[in-house]
Structure 1
Amino acid sequence: MKLLTANFLNCSNKKCTSSPEAFPLDVVDAKLAIQQLELKPEFLIGIMPRIDWNALLKTTRQLGNYSLPDEKPDLVDDSDEVLLKSLHNVLLETEITEGKMVCGNCGHVYPIFEGIPNMLLSESEI
């Protein structure tokens, strides 16, 4: 699962939809893989308005990556190549292959196996 995907996932439990603790999900016991991909600045520029920067920072720092700036950059063109490469690496090349995502509100654990998060809840949790 790419970190870009993790930036859009929250707890599936209905009780957690209004809780700020349910997003972002905490990433624990993660095994990471880096997959080299072609840099596409136009994609990064287009996706930036949809990125929850604070959630992304929390996730990357849980994974030991401190390469992103504390403040969300105003990415309007491809002139900042260093920033584009850093974002590209974090959002698209870094993949969580194994691990868990945990809701900070209800504590539900979503396992990640072979890069795929299992976001299903049991009937009692719905």
Structure 2
Amino acid sequence: MKLLTHNMLTSNIIKGVTKGFPLGITSTKVEVKEVDFNPAFVVKTLTKIDYPALYQAAKDIGYADGLPEKLEDNIKENEELLKKLHNALLQVEVIEGELVCPESGRKFPIANGIPNMLLQENEVENVAQ
């Protein structure tokens, strides 16, 4: 699971959970897989994600080296930083680990790079049909 994917996941369908974001993340196996660098894609993606959540996830799995806690406005001109962000977003993959709901503590396993977000019937918030 790429950290870009992690940044889009939430556990807000669990009973009693109102936000469910950002999910905590731990890893027991991480791989870095090379992906072609596209600075325009990285810049565009940064406008659509929650950067503090990305930074925390990268830090939690040990891949935040060189990432700032907060992004500056002049990021388009900083190719070195864009490459580090590209690495965190697209190249770092959690193969084994787990996600943790910040409100309920519910754990979701990650196996073979795929998070299992399935809930038990009794965990699901009743949603009017």
Task: Please report the TM-score for the alignment, with normalisation by the length of structure 2.
Answer: 0.87
The CA deviation string for residues 61-87 of structure 1, in whole angstroms up to 9 with x for no partner, is 11123321011233563x311011100
- Decide whether the 8 Å contact of 2:42 with 2:86 is kept in 1: yes
Distance across 1 between alignment mates of 2:50 and 2:74 = 14
Paired with 1:10 and 1:61, the residues of 2 have a C-alpha distance of 19
| 1-structure distance, mates of 2:100, 2:46 | 25
Match of 2:21 in 1: 23
What's the CA shift string for 1:30-56, capped at 9, x where partnerless? Answer: 310000111011111111111101111
Cα distance change, pair 89–29 in 1 and its aligned pair in 2 (3 A): closer
Distance (Å, rounded) in 1 between the aligned partners of 2:74 and 2:97: 31
Is 1:3 the counterpart of 2:21? The answer is no
Determine the structure 2 residue equivalent to 1:93: 91
Percent identity, aligned pairs only? 39
Match of 1:63 in 2: 61
Indicate conservation of the 8 Å contact 2:75/2:82, yes or no. Answer: no
**What's the counterpart of residue 114 of structure 1?**
112
Q: Gaps (5+ residues) in structure 1?
A: none
* 1:13 and 2:14 are equivalent in the alignment: yes
| TM-score, reference length from structure 1 | 0.88
Relative to 1, partners in 2 of residues 1:15 and 1:75: Cα closer, same or farther, differing over 3 Å? farther
Q: Distance in 2 between matches of 1:29 and 1:63?
A: 6
The 3-state SS of whatever aligns with 2:31 is: strand
Q: Distance in 2 between matches of 1:80 and 1:59?
A: 22
**1:125 corresponds to:** 123
Unaligned runs of 5+ in 2: 125-129
Match of 1:57, as an amino acid? Y
Return the structure number with greater helix share.
1
- Cα distance in 2, alignment partners of residues 88 and 76 from structure 1: 12
Aligned to 1:72: 71
Moved over 6 A (4+): none
Q: CA separation in 2, counterparts of 1:117 and 1:91?
A: 16
8 A Cα contact 1:45 1:75, kept in partner: no
- Corresponding position of 1:33: 31
2:53 is aligned with 1:52: no
